[in-house]
Amino acid sequence: MRFQVVSDPRARSAARRGLTRAAARGRTATISALAAAACGLVITGCGSQGSPGAASSATSSTATGSSSTASVDACATSQLKISLIDTGALAGQAGGYLKFTNDSRTSCRMSDWPAVVGLTAAGQATALRNLPSTMFGAWHYTSPPPVVTLRPGDAAYAVVAADDHPAGSSTRCPAPYVRLRVSPPGDSASVTISAWLSGARSYLPSCSSAKGSPTAGTSTITTLSSLPH
* pLDDT profile of the chain (229 residues), mean per 10: 44 47 47 42 36 32 39 96 96 96 98 98 97 92 95 98 90 95 97 98 95 95 92
Distance of CA 150 to the CA centre of its chain: 8
Q: What angle do CA 25, 26, 27 make, to 5 degrees?
A: 95
Q: So what's the pLDDT on residue 170?
A: 81
* Dist. CA 146–CA 32, nearest whole Å: 64
The strand pair at 179-183 and 115-119 is best described as antiparallel
CA 84 to the chain's CA centroid: 25
Say which amino acid occupies 220.
Answer: T
**154 burial level (CB within 10 Å; 0-12, 13-18, 19+):** middle
**Predicted pLDDT at 70:** 60
Output the CA torsion sign for 147, 223, 162, 95. Answer: positive
pLDDT of residue 34: 40
Left if phi > 0, otherwise alpha if psi is -120 to 50, otherwise beta: which for 59?
alpha
- Evaluate whether 157 touches 222 at the Cβ level (below 8 Å): yes
165-169 — which CB contacts under 8 Å span 24+ positions? 165/92, 165/207, 166/207, 166/208, 167/207, 167/208, 167/209, 167/210, 167/215, 168/210
